[in-house]
Structures are given as C-alpha cells and as structure tokens.
Amino acid sequence: MADPQLNRRILIIDDSEAIHADYHKVLELPAGADECLEVEDLEDVLLGRAERTTAPTFKVESAYQGEHGVAMAKAALLEGHPYAMAFVDMRMPPGWDGLRTIEELWAIDSHIQVVICSAHADYEWAEVVERLQHSDRLLVLRKPFEPIEVQQCASALCHKWHNERIVRGQVESLERVVAARTHGLEAANEQLRHIATHDVLTGLPNRALLDDRLHQMIAQGPRNAQPFAVLMCDLDRFKLINDSMGHRAGDAFLQSVASRLTEVIRTGDTLARRGGDEFVFLVNSPIDGSDAQSIAQRALQVLDAPVRIDGIDIHVAASIGIAMYPRDGDRADILLANADAAMYSAKQRGSNLIEQFSPEMRGLTPHRLQLESDLHRALELQQFELHYQPKVDTNTGMVRSAEALVRWRHPERGLLGPTEFIAIAESSGQIVPLGEWVLNEACRQARKWQDEGLPPLRIGVNVSAAQFRQGELVRTVEQALDAAGLEPHFLELELTESAVMRSPEESVAILEELSSMGILVSVDDFGTGYSSMSYLRRFPIDKLKIDKSFVCDMVARAEDASIVQAIISLAHSLKLKVVAEGVETGEQLAVLKSLGCDQYQGFHFCCALPANEFKALMKAQDAGIASRLEPVEPTQSKLTALRQR
C-alpha cells in the first residue's frame, strides 16, 4: 500500500534528454493513473491485501547539468520538500561531472541518497567510491539499465531516506530529553549547593557561607584588603515571641525581619543569618566606619514598623554591634566575637541601640556556652540571690510593694543581672527550676520581713512564658506560699502580654485560679507586645506596668506622653491600677502624677536592693502604718471573667 508519508521526490541529473524520458517512463505512472492507484489502494484495504503488486509511483524532476541539479536541490530544501534521492550521470559536458555534482549536492543536503550512473567503462568504481568516502548513501548503476533496476533503486533509497529521517527525529528527541535531564540535574545540583550554603527559612546565606565570605575578604591580606565592617544584629525578645506564639509564628516573624533587612544591603555586601535571631552584615570598605553606622541605623529603621502575624502587631527591636577590619581584628573569629561583644554591650544599655566595638568590651562577650554550663550548677551551688525594687505610690511616696529581681553571683564574673542569663536559662529550659527558686525565695523573704516586724508589703515575682506554659504554675505557687507561710494576697505575679496570649483560653483558666486564691496579676512591659488590647477585658488582671521605653521618652516626645496617657485612661476605665517602670527623673514623675498614674518604679526612687538594704530602707521610711498594701477593688476584667464562668 502506498505510504502517504513516504517522500517520493526524485531528481534526475543527466545531460541526455532521452535518458530523462526513460526515467520518467519507468518511475512515473501515465497521466490519469493516479486515480486508478487510489482505487487500487481502496481495494487493498477492502480485500485486506497487504502488499500491492503494482510498481509504486514517484515524483520525478529533471536537471540537465550538475549546477542546475544542485540549485534545484537547494530550492527543494528551502521549500521544506527535499528530494529523497537523485540519479546522477557520470559525464555531463560541459559542466560538472557526476562526482563533483554529488559532492556539491551533499554539501547542501547531506541526507539525499544518490545513484551514480555510467555507460562507460573508463571509471574505476573503486576510485569513485574512495573519493566519495565509501558513503552508504551511494549506489552504482551501469547503463543501459533495466527498468526494474531503476524502480528498485528508487524504492529502496526512498525508503532508506525515510527511515533515516525517522531515526534522526528519534535521536533528536532523545537528545532533547537528555539535554532537559542534564539541565534538570544541573539545576538540582545548583539547588543542593544553594541549600548547603543558605538558610532554609529565610533564604539568606548561612553561617558556612558567611564564614567563607569573611575568610575571602580577609585572605587578600591586610595590606591589600579593603577595610570592611562586621555588623552583628540580634533581635530583642525574639525568644518571647517564639515561646508565646509558637514556632510557626516565630518563623514567619524571622522571614519578615530577613526580608526587611535585605532592603538595607548594597550590592557587594552580605547579609547572613547566623542562627536563631542573629543576623550578620558584611559591609564593604567603610573607610571610617560611618557607612557601617548608617547601615546599622537603616537596619533599625526598617525594623521599626510592627510585624503583623496572625492578626497581631508585633514590635521588633534589635541591638547591633559593629567591628571593623583590620582595626578590631584581623581574623574571622575575632571579628565576629568583637562584633558580638559590641552587640552585647548595646543590648545591656537598652533596646534598639548600636555600638562600635572598643577593646574594653572584650570581657563582655558572654561566652554563652560556658555560661550555659555554669548555669546548670548555679542553683545547687546557691549562687542566685534576689534584689528588691520598691513600687512607690505616686501621690504619697509610700512604698507599696517590692519587685523581686534575680541576680547571679558568678564566682568569676561577679554579680550578673538577669539580662545576661535569663535568655540562656529560657532556651535551655533552666528557667523553670530557676523561676521556682525565685518564687520560693521571694515568698520566704516577704514572710521573714513580716516576722521581723516590718509592716507587711506585697512581693512581686516575674514569671516567664515557659513557666506559665508548663502547666504546674498554680501548684508551684501554692507550694511556695505554703512553704513560706505567706498569705496569697501578699503575692503579685508579673507576666508579659505575650506569655498570656499564647493560648488565651488556657491562660484565662490559670489566671482565674490564681485570682481566686487572692493573688494579684500584673501585665509587665505593657505596650511592647501586642497592640490588641481586647484581652484586658477578658483576663482577670489587676495591674498594668507601662514599659520603661515609653516613660523614658515621655518628657521629650509628646507622642510617648500621649501613649502613656492613653494607657492610664484605658486601665482606669477597666479599674486596673497602673505602674510606670523606669522612672529616672523628677520631671518624669511629675508628668506621671499629672496623668494619674498610681505607682512607679525606678532609679529616681531607688534601684533594686539586696534584702538587708531593702529592709533598712523600709525601716527608715516606716510611717507607723499597719500595712503597706494598697486597697484592692475588683477590677473590670475580674468581674467580666467571673461573669463568664
């Protein structure tokens, strides 16, 4: 059966017209036979005949000179209908001979199949085949030929051309598949390299790539190397967010921080995530450190707006330390450690601050691992102690209560404040036993003062998110009160907003239980965590403690003063008491008084004191009163909570 796909286009190149006529006769059907063929084809199908016996027909075209034939082959190729084969005469004066013609043909169309024809015996066929490099696209035919020879050559070579094209197509598609796979492998490889050198969560370079870049920058040698800066940026209070809102929220928070910090870097600088909430910038050629300083400032600026996660606005704050190469170190580890020390120093001074490294900071590096391992034994070695800071009545100046603030008397480092170890204790889980110790010690001390004849006062204890979540808080508190013999209304627990917001339902239940025992609950650092304040109505809370950052700027910034004012009026409308933290000047106190703030804490009155000094202060202030406790009225939130029960 005629294959419609088969290319039957044949080129005859011969200088003899008579020969052309012969080819046409042998290879083409007489005019009108086409239709017959189609009918025959139909019969083949109907009768199920596999092979048709009639000779196949071809499309034959003529050229009388080699040059002409090659031009026709070129045109056919351009049309997209190339010749499948050509019959080429050996001698075609005056033009090219057959050999040259074949070479030219193959130069423009390397797939065309060729039959060389010659009547003459003056060719050494071996030589001809040699010259055409034993091509398998070539057959030799001696004139005069039998029609069947021509038909068979035409049929076989058209099929050969066709099969080769199929094979070529398959090879090409195979090559395309291979190319695609290779490309895929390369991409996968690239991705693997990326994963090995980048942080999965934020996509930023990781610690390995950071070290690599840092070493490269140093490798040029101090004489050739450009000065550069290492900026260590550590988020403040990230642990709290992670603990109170969960890891998913913590991750989203870090991603958002990373993308904001990325806005700050210039081409050629590096921003890496070194782990946890620690980001490192490598800033190129800041001659005097001012570039680094301005990048650090921009970093704090871009972090200024709150990050919204799960419908809650979280305020970001960070501390940044800067170390310069080669001034502050000519080794990667030293530069990182010194940037770390500067960051640590910034953190100690407060929040959202930038510090340049200076040699006296060296001792500040917390050597976290060492501290963590020391911390393990600190409890059993009884290295902790509590200091007490008075909470003072804004109107009368009377000390109402005391906040217990933990200190660590470290055998080598001296007295350490909580900012140096609370975060470590939280991340290592030691905050739970430490918090339990603080609770017991504070209750014991409060009772002891009472036994010593001081007018009874309330004792405030900070409770970390981990303790609150752990589920044992109520029992731990009961046991501490029992062991000390202290009545519950002498105890006040200070919790941060984020600690109670983690799982509000659970929190309400715990707070209700504590409230029903008579214990007071304060929200610590109020204003720095959640913007949503609706929880204040639902949670049985007694006091808000306005964070010291608002108090600090209150006198200079009208905006902060109005925030403080708003917090106070909100609190009072819910019958909550308000305590201002970090009051350092008489001016601040005067403003707070005018705004109706109930109590305050701060260096203006006094800092946290060891137990014996606190006792001496109380004695000196002894106004002959029976109790220092402020009268407690049930707050709006307590009533609401009770009503909802």
Binding site for ligand C2E (CB under 6 A): 389, 405-406, 417-419, 422, 435, 438, 462, 464, 494, 524-525, 548, 581-584, 601-603, 607-608
The enclosing H or E element of 458 equals strand 458-462
462 lies in the site for Ca ion, by CB under 5 A: yes
254 with 262: CB under 8 angstroms?
A: no
Q: Which window, 413-421, 430-438, 489-497, 600-608, contacts Ca ion (CB under 5 A)?
A: 489-497
Binding string, residues 581-620; x marks residues near Ca ion by CB under 5 A = x---------------------------------------
Q: Which partner, Ca ion, ligand C2E, none, binds residue 82 by CB below 5 to 8 Å per kind?
A: none
- Partner residues linked to 228 by β-bridges: 284, 325
Of the two residues 299 and 481, which places its CB atom closer to ligand C2E in the complex?
481
The end-to-end CA distance of the chain, in Å, is 92
Least distance in angstroms from the C-beta of 315 to ligand C2E: 15
The enclosing H or E element of 639 equals helix 636-644
Distances from the Cα of 135 to the Cα of 102, 111, 131, 178, angstroms: 11, 11, 9, 29
420 lies in the site for Ca ion, by CB under 5 A: no
By CB atoms closer than 10 A (0-12, 13-18, 19+), residue 128 is middle
Distance CA 618, CA 579 (A): 20
Least distance in angstroms from the C-beta of 431 to Ca ion: 14
Distances from the Cα of 186 to the Cα of 73, 195, 248, angstroms: 42, 14, 32
Least distance in angstroms from the C-beta of 436 to ligand C2E: 10
Q: Which window, 137-145, 276-284, 487-495, 497-505, contacts Ca ion (CB under 5 A)?
A: 487-495
Least distance in angstroms from the C-beta of 422 to ligand C2E: 5
Distance CA 288, CA 394 (A): 48
Least distance in angstroms from the C-beta of 209 to ligand C2E: 35
For 556, list phi and psi in degrees, rounded to 5.
-85, -35
Least distance in angstroms from the C-beta of 602 to ligand C2E: 3
Of the two residues 467 and 637, which places its CB atom closer to ligand C2E in the complex?
467
338 with 318: CB under 8 angstroms?
A: no
DSSP state of 362: G
Least distance in angstroms from the C-beta of 297 to Ca ion: 26
Least distance in angstroms from the C-beta of 459 to ligand C2E: 12
Q: How many helices (H) and strands (E) in the chain?
A: 25, 22
Among candidate residues 392, 420, 418, the one with its CA nearest the CA of residue 405: 418
Q: Which partner, ligand C2E, Ca ion, none, binds residue 113 by CB below 5 to 8 Å per kind?
A: none
Candidate residues 494, 542, 560, 598; the one interacting with Ca ion per rule CB under 5 A = 494
Of the two residues 416 and 523, which places its CB atom closer to Ca ion in the complex?
523
User: Total residues at the site for Ca ion (CB under 5 A)?
Assistant: 5
User: Which residue shows structure tokens 């395309």?
Assistant: 176
Of the two residues 524 and 542, which places its CB atom closer to Ca ion in the complex?
524
Residues whose CB falls within 8 Å of the CB of residue 78, separated by 6 or more in sequence, listed in order: none
Q: Which partner, ligand C2E, Ca ion, none, binds residue 419 by CB below 5 to 8 Å per kind?
A: ligand C2E
Of the two residues 436 and 525, which places its CB atom closer to Ca ion in the complex?
525
Of the two residues 26 and 463, which places its CB atom closer to ligand C2E in the complex?
463
Of the two residues 89 and 598, which places its CB atom closer to Ca ion in the complex?
598
Q: What is the largest CA-CA distance in the chain?
A: 143
Q: Which partner, Ca ion, ligand C2E, none, binds residue 582 by CB below 5 to 8 Å per kind?
A: ligand C2E
Residues whose CB falls within 8 Å of the CB of residue 109, separated by 6 or more in sequence, listed in order: 73, 74, 77, 82, 83
Sign of CA dihedral 496, 627, 479, 373: positive
By CB atoms closer than 10 A (0-12, 13-18, 19+), residue 144 is exposed
Of the two residues 137 and 391, which places its CB atom closer to Ca ion in the complex?
391
Among candidate residues 33, 34, 114, 125, the one with its CA nearest the CA of residue 69: 114
74 with 44: CB under 8 angstroms?
A: no
Least distance in angstroms from the C-beta of 182 to ligand C2E: 57
Distances from the Cα of 296 to the Cα of 111, 268, 290, 347, angstroms: 68, 16, 10, 14
Of the two residues 335 and 402, which places its CB atom closer to ligand C2E in the complex?
402
Least distance in angstroms from the C-beta of 524 to Ca ion: 4
Q: Which window, 187-195, 371-379, 459-467, 565-573, contacts Ca ion (CB under 5 A)?
A: 459-467
Least distance in angstroms from the C-beta of 498 to Ca ion: 13
Least distance in angstroms from the C-beta of 557 to ligand C2E: 17
Q: Which partner, ligand C2E, Ca ion, none, binds residue 366 by CB below 5 to 8 Å per kind?
A: none
344 with 360: CB under 8 angstroms?
A: no
Q: Which partner, Ca ion, ligand C2E, none, binds residue 438 by CB below 5 to 8 Å per kind?
A: ligand C2E
Of the two residues 8 and 545, which places its CB atom closer to ligand C2E in the complex?
545
Of the two residues 69 and 582, which places its CB atom closer to ligand C2E in the complex?
582
Binding string, residues 520-559; x marks residues near Ca ion by CB under 5 A = ----xx----------------------------------
Distance CA 524, CA 130 (A): 98
Q: Which partner, Ca ion, ligand C2E, none, binds residue 608 by CB below 5 to 8 Å per kind?
A: ligand C2E
Of the two residues 72 and 551, which places its CB atom closer to ligand C2E in the complex?
551
Site residues for Ca ion per CB under 5 A: 462, 494, 524-525, 581
